Amino acid sequence: MKSYNIAVIKGDGIGPEIVDEAIKVLDAVSKKENFELNYKEYLMGGCAYEAVGNPIPDETIEGSKNSDAILFGSIGGYKWDDLPRELKPESGLLKLRKELGLFANLRPVAVFDELIEASSMKPEVIKGVDLLVVRELTGGIYFGEPRFNDGQKAYNTMVYTKDEIIRIAKVAFESAMKREKKVCSVDKANVLEVSRLWRATVEEIARDYPEVELSHMFVDNAAMQLVRDPRQFDVILTGNIFGDILSDEASMMSGSIGLLPSSSIGGIVGLYEPIHGSAPDIAGQGIANPIATILSASMMLRYSLGEINAADKIDGAIKELLQEGYRTPDLAKYHAKVICSTEEIGSLIADKISKA
């Protein structure tokens, strides 16, 4: 029997609640498809700081490097907001991404027909939306030096090298070749030097992909166009901070940020996580939507383990569940037949797979 080693990082807030449901679903599908998943849990974030005084113990990095894939929930919380930067939960995640070389974060945004009324946007604007945000993940203003804050003055530095832009642009163009063959590169080239280099470099790479239609958009306009006419987009290629912001904005087309998965690739081993955070405002209540994490687990099966049938089964079961009207409270206002807890959604999806 095929067997895979999965590093599991549950994290903080709703992290453990949503990852537990993803594991429930993975167990059901691996049994059905005849492969074995060996999970090993690692600490990261606020929970790691509490346990060992470090948001990312070496063991977590080593264990992740030695796994076939990483399934991650979320980190962070009010409790750790005032810690020095190096000790904050967020630093743990940023270090993991950097150490593993995960420079490409793929965030697909699709609108389920079943949830078309769940979005705060109009059905006629969002019907059929299917786009992919390709976000650079290990560079830009998140990591640039110098960075400084003495209480009177503070700064960060947005830096991209040409090589960093080339490799993320290639991911975007390769993705577009498997989709609608359109790339919209989002920058702020009317103001920022780093964006001018970004734009010129993306133009160069585009020459190797003559079938792909390339456009450029300033990020402020892109934020507006995403809610005006999101169907104009196929692949959005952008830097670290713009991608972070635009993908949270785009999540509202789907109805809830609790529906959007992601994969982080390009390095030693793929990392799969929902795009949302630890949602401290609802943690511990059993009401978080686990679907983003379950879809991330499906992406893990598809892209890191090559278990395509299993991934298809998960995606199909989620679609069916939504068709039947089961919803967590974030989606409950709209056409919900049954309002469910986090655990119930996980069990319903797992049961569908087991009984199919």
Do the Cβ atoms of 246 and 233 come closer than 8 Å? Answer: no
Find out whether 98 and 138 touch, Cβ atoms under 8 Å.
yes
Residue 96: name the closest of 38, 52, 57, 133 by CA.
57
Min CB(244)–ligand NAD separation in Å = 8
Residues belonging to the chain: 356
CB of 209 to ligand IPM, least distance (A): 27
Residue range at the interface with ligand NAD (CB under 6 A); choices 28-36, 68-76, 118-126, 317-325: 68-76
The number of angstroms, rounded, from the C-alpha of 68 to the middle of its chain's C-alpha atoms is: 18
The answer to whether residue 315 is catalytic is no
Minimum CB distance to Mn ion smaller for 16 or for 277: 277
Say if strands 148-149 and 154-155 run parallel, antiparallel, or are unpaired.
Answer: antiparallel
Cβ 209 to Mn ion, closest distance in Å?
28
Is 281 a binding residue for ligand NAD by CB under 6 A? The answer is yes
Q: How far is the CB of 34 from ligand NAD (least distance, A)?
A: 30
| 188 included as an active-site residue | yes
Q: Spell out, one character per residue from 79 to 118, where the chain touches ligand NAD: x when CB under 6 A holds, - when not.
A: -----------x--x-------------------------
Stretch that binds Mn ion, among 22-30, 32-40, 53-61, 240-248 (CB under 5 A): 240-248
Which residues is 213 bridged to in the sheet? 182
Stretch that binds Mn ion, among 14-22, 125-133, 206-214, 237-245 (CB under 5 A): 237-245
Q: How far apart are CA 78 and CA 72, in angstroms?
A: 20
| Residue 186 one-letter amino acid | V
| Contacts with 237 (C-beta within 8 Å, 6 or more apart), sequence order | 134, 168, 169, 172, 183, 184, 185, 186, 202
Q: Does 77 bind ligand NAD (CB under 6 A)?
A: yes
Q: Which residues bind ligand NAD (CB under 6 A)?
A: 14, 74-77, 90, 93, 257-258, 273, 276-282, 288-289, 292, 330
Q: Which residues bind Mn ion (CB under 5 A)?
A: 244
